[in-house]
Amino acid sequence: MSSPMHGEYKVPGGKLVVADLQVVDGLLHGVRISGDFFLEPGEAITDICAALTGLAADASSEDMIAALDQGIPAGTALVGFSVESIAIAVRRALGVARTWRDFEWQIVDTGPVAPAMHLALDEVLARAVAKGTRAPTLRFWQWDRPAIIIGNFQSLKNEVDMEACRTHGVTVVRRVTGGGAMFVEPGSTITYSLYAPGELVEGMDFAASYAFLDNWVLQALNELGIEAYCKPLNDIASPKGKIGGAAQKRYGGGAVLHHATMAYDMDGAKMEQVLRIGREKISDKGIASAAKRVDPVRSQTGMTREDVTARMIDTFTRLNGGTEGAVTAEEWAAAKALVAEKFDTEAWLTHVP
């Protein structure tokens, strides 16, 4: 019989799930699930523990979730937690699910670079984390020019007024992640990327991983007086309006690219000229202007962009650790090549016309 094992998982925007257990002959034994969650009927906690007891200690998160789905009586209400969060807590007790603090994070600010270079850096750094040649990294972006970044699956002609972009000197690029188009100008947004090991979000579905990976951002904004929260699937919002949006891509080899852009101080009128915001997209918001869909961080804090970013870094390092890092010469060279081969080509930009 193993010594007692203990694991915890705090659901982003939800409750704490705690798992205590032992391993006997390779099987889970004496499983006890606890926390500050809500469960109706309360007696179902016995079914939850029983569903896990006897499973192989090396069971995958999928196997644990399946056992819980089968063992929990129909009609049971799990409030503030889920079967996925239970599996994560159990795997953390077993030492096979990793937390932020299990990794040595680097924090990088590459300074102002061209839009296509930012997108190339995302791919190069994410693949480097997947290969194990780079530590997990948080990177902050700065823009050297106005730009529109459209999602991988968006139609260029439906989303962007190219003539207006030429008039206003706006560069148009396409990223590798899905989601919607975003308009940026130097100093107008706070954009960051996480290049995280896949282990960090193992057992989570996409919706849960968005909330989990942005939880530190919400805490930072809350500390600045913004009532920020995750709005499924991928928005960062507040009672005063949308703040920003995130997008993800999973890379083979085990890495997650998660990046987000938050509006700091935008030119809403210009955004409406260069983006073709469809009536369907804004009709469900109950508003007449697309510019009103986004409430900048500046209006809610009064702080400079640099100060907000610094506070975000402070929050991240306090919660998750992290030291200052840099992009290597080899990574810069690989990104430069990828700009020429992919991100600055007409073929990539127009692959969805």
Q: Looking at 72, 97, 122, which one is the last position of a domain?
A: 97
Same domain for 73 and 146, yes or no, is no
Q: Looking at 97, 119, 148, which one is the last position of a domain?
A: 97
- 276 φ, ψ (degrees, to nearest 5): -90, 85
Q: Where in the sequence is the domain holding 231, given as residue range(s)? A: 101-349
C-alpha 127/C-alpha 195 separation (Å) is 9
C-beta of residue 338 within 8 angstroms of C-beta of residue 348:
no
Apex 129 CA angle, 126 and 135, nearest 5: 125
Count how many domains the chain has.
2
pTM here is 0.83
Q: What's the pLDDT tens digit per position in 235-290?
A: 999 998 889 999 999 998 889 999 999 999 877 888 889 998 743 454 444 444 45
DSSP secondary structure of 289-319: -GGGGB--HHHHH---HHHHHHHHHHHHHHH
Same domain for 111 and 28, yes or no, is no
Q: Looking at 82, 97, 112, which one is the last position of a domain?
A: 97
Q: What's the mean pLDDT when you consider all of the chain?
A: 91
Which sign does the torsion angle of CA 162, 159, 252, 89 carry?
A: positive
Which sign does the torsion angle of CA 97, 100, 105, 111 carry?
A: positive
C-beta of residue 276 within 8 angstroms of C-beta of residue 155:
no
C-alpha 17/C-alpha 91 separation (Å) is 12
Same domain for 91 and 232, yes or no, is no
Same domain for 37 and 92, yes or no, is yes
Q: What's the pLDDT tens digit per position in 89-113?
A: 999 999 987 889 888 899 999 999 9
Same domain for 44 and 190, yes or no, is no
Tokens of 124: 């190069």
Same domain for 50 and 196, yes or no, is no
pLDDT for the residue 295: 63
Q: What's the pLDDT tens digit per position in 196-223?
A: 999 999 888 888 899 999 999 999 999 9
pLDDT class of 10 with cuts at 50, 70, 90 = confident
Same domain for 41 and 178, yes or no, is no
Same domain for 170 and 286, yes or no, is yes
